[in-house]
Amino acid sequence: MDLKSGYPFWAVSNGLMQAFPRLAADQRCDVAVIGGGITGALVANELAGHGFDVVVLEQRDIGWGSTSASTALLQYEIDTHLVDLAKRHGEADAALAYRACADAIDQLHDVASAWRDVGFARNRSLYYASRRRDVHALEEEHAARERHGLAVELLSAARVREDYGFDAPAALLSTQAARVDPYRLTHRLLQRLQKRGASVFDRTRVEDVKATSRGVTLRTDTGMSVRASHLVIAAGYASQHWLKKRVARNRSSYAVISDPMTDAQLGFLGDTLLWETARPYLYARSTSDNRLLLGGEDDAVDIPAKRDARVEKKACTLLKRLHDLFPGLAFTPAFSWAGTFAETEDGLPFFGPHPQWGPRVQFAMAYGGNGITYSMLGAGVLRALIERRRHRLWPLFSFQRMDR
């Protein structure tokens, strides 16, 4: 599956950090993980860190799928407002999801703190009303988040203009956000796991999976086999190929990144994620080398050739929208790209077994705008399921919620 177009910044800036070996002999393990992107790396890290013998299998080079195209905004805010999520799943479960995502930012900090070169930094998050008619929804959202202990401030139009220098009728400001280089973090996690005895294989395609009540057998395109007690399918947006019925819609998102800028040029964008209420939304974040990354202009295109052809035009649109907000900001484009992402109906991910496969096969589908945050949470959910423990998030992240 072709998951990206153009020149994704993380792939360009980092290159092929390390070539892991191809699978050349049969393997046995406690847990096999299909997928060597950020989701697979976080899941493998969680399992290996708690005593499981893990084998990771990636069909491309490690991190070379959608991870290299991710813009990696780490937020607790779900694309579905807390107020709207409560209408679907009840206020208690909606608040549970939001609070868990807030906790996940701290968990990601703990994971990333092992390295100084993965671009992790704490940020604020400024979520502004794109139109005056969105103000009431922001006021309701502010009240709901405060009611459930989430620290957030409602800013007036005057405050947005005074503190941030652009015009918006209102905004929500929170401090629980962060940024990271997802490609480099993926490599660092899997390099460390390999040094500690886990097996990581790239350029290894799994073509067949057979699951029984006792375990799972995987067959690769070169005839090798992996026998595991459990399987986690963390193949990103290609994971749906393992299901007879799709559970999410694949879409395309576009991004453009600047040349390095000065602190003065970046201003508040140096430590604040910016995004808006309109859907699809424009968003912006800085990087550890003082570049400004813009993203958005999402569309329903799921055909690589069509997505490829749209990158330049979409990048121009993103730049125009930035200029409309900040006319004096000097932005020199360096690279632009597009990547596949997936949306579920309620904005929540899927972690756990699917009825089609039975309890030995777990899915890690961190779909939505905050996929890395979901991956951090989902790693704990999957470990609990494999250990036959109940996890508080599993009912909300499971495939069973579709039957409610």
CATH code of 205's domain: 3.50.50.60
For the chain, residues with pLDDT lower than 50 are none
Residues 196 and 222 in one domain: yes
The rounded distance, in Å, linking the Cα atoms of 290 and 263 is: 7
Helical packing angle, 82-89 and 135-147, nearest 10°: 70
Residues 265 and 238 in one domain: no
The answer to whether residue 364 is domain-embedded is: yes
Residues 158 and 256 in one domain: yes
Residues 327 and 261 in one domain: yes
Residues 167 and 191 in one domain: no
The answer to whether residue 113 is domain-embedded is: no
Q: Which of 300, 319, 343 is the last residue of a domain?
A: 343
Residues 353 and 238 in one domain: yes
Q: Which of 343, 362, 389 is the last residue of a domain?
A: 343
Structure tokens at 16: 């092929």
The answer to whether residue 326 is domain-embedded is: yes
Question: Which pLDDT score, from 0 to 100, does residue 381 have?
Answer: 98
226-284 per-position pLDDT tens digit:
999 999 999 998 899 999 999 999 889 999 999 999 999 999 999 999 999 998 889 99
Q: Pick from 379, 103, 94, 40: which is nearest to 239 by CA? A: 40
Element (H, E) at 297: strand 292-299
The answer to whether residue 74 is domain-embedded is: no
Q: Which residue has the tokens 């963390």?
A: 234
For residue 169, CA distances in Å to 154, 161, 179, 349 come to: 11, 9, 26, 31
The answer to whether residue 10 is domain-embedded is: no
Element (H, E) at 187: helix 182-195
Q: How many domains does the chain have?
A: 2
Domain holding 165, by residue range, is 121-176+248-343
Burial letters 354-388, b for 16+ CB under 10 A, else e: beebeebbbbbbbbbbbbbbbbbbbbbbbbbbbee
Q: Can you tell me whether residue 335 is helix, strand or coil? A: strand
Residues 157 and 190 in one domain: no
378, 349 contact by CB (below 8 A): yes
Residues 297 and 362 in one domain: no
Residues in the chain: 404
The answer to whether residue 82 is domain-embedded is: no
Residues 215 and 357 in one domain: yes
The answer for residues whose C-beta is within 8 angstroms of residue 54's C-beta and 6 or more apart is 29, 30, 31, 32, 33, 44, 47, 48, 193, 198, 199
Residues 278 and 243 in one domain: no
The answer to whether residue 99 is domain-embedded is: no
Q: Which of 343, 361, 383 is the last residue of a domain?
A: 343
The rounded distance, in Å, linking the Cα atoms of 229 and 231 is: 7
The answer to whether residue 77 is domain-embedded is: no
Helical packing angle, 371-386 and 38-48, nearest 10°: 30
The rounded distance, in Å, linking the Cα atoms of 47 and 54 is: 7
CATH code for the domain of 331 = 3.30.9.10
Question: Which pLDDT score, from 0 to 100, does residue 2 have?
Answer: 57
Residues 188 and 283 in one domain: no
Residues 191 and 321 in one domain: no
The answer for residues whose C-beta is within 8 angstroms of residue 13's C-beta and 6 or more apart is none
Q: Are strands 292-299 and 249-258 parallel, antiparallel or unpaired?
A: antiparallel
